[in-house]
Each structure stands twice: as C-alpha cells, then as structure tokens.
Amino acid sequence: MKALILAGGFGKRLKPLTDQTPKPLLEVAGKPIIVHQIDWLKQYEVKEIILTIGYMTEKFIEFLGSGRRYNVNICYVVEDEPLGTAGAVKNAESLLKNEPYFYVVNGDVLTSLDPSKLLKALDQTTIGAIATVPLPSPYGIIYSDPQDRITGFKEKPSLREYWINAGVYAFKPEILNRLPEKGSIEEAFEKIAPEGKLKTVKYPDIFWKSIDTFKDIEEAEKTLAQKRILSTIYEPNRT
C-alpha cells in the first residue's frame, strides 16, 4: 500500500520556524510531524511513502533518507515550481497509476483516524473518499436557558452539524485523469462532486489537528501530553 504525503508547502504562517526547516519536519511533542505520520501510516499496512517536495528538498532527503530507519521505503517527487496540491499528486502519476488505490495525506496533519475506512468507501462508482471531521470551534460556547440565564460553558467544542476536509484521502488511480497539472485538489473536487464519484467518511471521535500556526503546535503538544493519543495508536519499531 502506498501513501503520498503532500510536503511541498512553504509554511509561511509558521515563520520564522520555517525559514530554516520545512513545516513537516517541525517537531511536535518531541518528533517531526512527518515522523508522526509515518508511524501512523505503518499501522495500516502502508510500506511505501511518496513525498512531494519543493521547499528545502535537501532537508527532507537528509533527514529521512530511504526510509529504512523507519521501516518503510521513501521516494521523492520534486517540484521545480509550486504546483498546488492537485498538481503535486498529478506530478507523481508515474508512481501511482498502476496501484489499485492509494492514500494522499496533507503534510501538516496529525491524526489518529483509521484510513482503511476510506478504502471501504471506494465502491464501483466512486473514485475518491475524503475523510471529514467535525468543525472545531475557535471559541468557547456559552449555553443559556429561555430566560437567558447562563447554564454552562464548553471550551472550543466540535460543531458536529458541520464537517470539514481532514486532509486525508483514498483514491483510485482514475482520479489522476481528473487532476490538473497545477492547482488545488479542492478545486478538482468541486468539479468531480456533481458526478457522484466522491464519498465522505465521517470521523466524529478521533484526534485530528492541522498544524498551521504556533497556536496549533501548542494545542497539539498539550493534547498529546495529556492524553498520549498517538502513542496508543502506534509503537514505532525502527532498526
């Protein structure tokens, strides 16, 4: 099983940290984001990792090498110019077109979700499955009764009436024919969705965090330290 990790972004919102280190190599809870991802994916029979890179490519190659240290095989697809998320997947077509299906993961996502559920959603009429999670509220919620007396508080709840793209996908190779050579994967989804060829798999009760800002790093480290969520998912086995 192969997984492509989209790791070519500049991480501008995390400057100055990303001036010297690409975002997927930033440490969260003691190890780089991308190592968390590799350890997570290994638990779901992923042995082949494809990294799409373009910013500070030598840092990835120097740090991860062939992947042997992590008991996976890693290969690299280098972008000469930014291609966007859809273009990055399309750029790796030669490595994916003969697979029955494959995963794609944003390079800044930490999660405990089970990606194999996405594969089960790929029926005869579907070419892609998108993991979705409840919208995390950026603010605390105040509850009140009909007389406007406050009855309680809840800090930054998940808003389960709204679902957002979790940045984890399972695709059949047919998706490659629908992706542009440059552009975002969300724009491609908007064109494919009316045809009924995409499905969502909802994950209401899992750990998920997209690392975009300094605050995201702090919150992820706090959660992992308190609950040790990811450590219950995998035990890294390296040689």
Which residue among 47, 120, 154, 156 is the active-site one? 156
Cross-strand pairs, 132: 165, 202
Rounded Cα gap, residues 110 and 167, in angstroms:
10
Nearest to 202 by CA among 121, 109, 102: 121
Catalytic, 90? Answer: no
Q: What distance, in Å, lies between the first and last C-alpha atoms of the chain? A: 21
Q: Are strands 31-32 and 27-28 parallel, antiparallel or unpaired?
A: antiparallel
Question: Catalytic residues, which ones?
Answer: 156
